[in-house]
Each structure stands twice: as C-alpha cells, then as structure tokens.
Amino acid sequence: MPVKNQQEHKTENQMGDLTKNFNKSEFDCNDGSEMPEDVFDNVQIQAYNLQTIRDFFNAPVTINSAYRSPSYNKSVGGAKNSQHLTGNATDITIKGYTPDQVADIIEGLIRIDAIEEGGLGRYNTFTHYDRRGNKARWDNRTK
C-alpha cells in the first residue's frame, strides 16, 4: 500500500479523527465558522495533549469550547488575545470529576512533562487548558 503524503493525510484528518478519541468537529467554533489552516495545525497538537489527559482519567473528555473565530470570541466576552483564537485552548469537563479535580490532575501531568505547559484556569463548571508555552494560572470560580 502506498504511503500517503503529508497533505493527503492532513486533508483526511481535517474531516475526521485527530486521535483515537477526538474528532476535528469537537474543536470547531461554536458559531460554525471555518477553521483556518494554521489553527488546524495547533488543534492537532492540542488534541494529542487532551488524549493524554483522557487516557490518564480513563474517562471521556467533553470539549465545551475550543477554536473560536474572532467574532465569536468577542461575542462570548473572551480575552482579546485568547488562546482559543489560535486553536491552542480548550474548555473541558470530565464526567465524574469536578473542574477542580480536573485542574489538579492537569497540573500534575504538566509537572511530569506528560502534557505541555501553559494556561490552566479554574471555573465553576469547566476547566480551561491551553498550550501558550509559559505557565499561567487563574481561578475564576465564584464562591
């Protein structure tokens, strides 16, 4: 069987699976806008990091928000320089775990270099994880 060139493989992946448990459609913008090519490249890397998280928990990871178009990001009150704009961020939940438990485990996976360093945000109903390349932590939970 002939080996597929990188472009054929990329086009095939854009329409389907990124990892064994994540599909491109899970990372699409919630407003239905087209994902730019350079964003797709980042989404592929983010999917690999999320696969590591999923494998550790041995539980499905639900992506609430991943790539955001600039207009959608503005409409939801996202940060002007949000990592969601570049496909480097996801807001997730994991059934059976609180967002705080998820954040604690992600912190541990970063510490042992199992996933990339980046931003880790704690919210009441989800956990934000991004691959910005430097450590950033915040707590937006309301008491």
C-alpha distances in Å from residue 105, one per residue of 60, 99, 141, 143: 15, 10, 17, 22
Residue 80 buriedness (CB in 10 A; 0-12 / 13-18 / 19+): exposed
Q: Are 87 and 46 in contact, with CB atoms under 8 Å apart?
A: yes
| pLDDT tens digit sequence for 46-95 | 999 999 999 999 999 999 999 999 999 999 999 999 999 999 999 999 99
- Mean pLDDT value of segment 114-134: 97
Confidence class of residue 10 from pLDDT cuts 50, 70 and 90? very low
Q: Are 105 and 88 in contact, with CB atoms under 8 Å apart?
A: no
pTM of the model: 0.87
Q: Are 142 and 103 in contact, with CB atoms under 8 Å apart?
A: no
- Angle of CA points 21, 72, 123, to nearest 5°: 60
Across the chain, the runs of DSSP E, i.e. the strands, are 61-65, 89-94, 119-122, 127-130, 136-139
Please state the length of the chain: 143
Asked whether residue 132 carries a pLDDT value surpassing 60, the answer given is yes
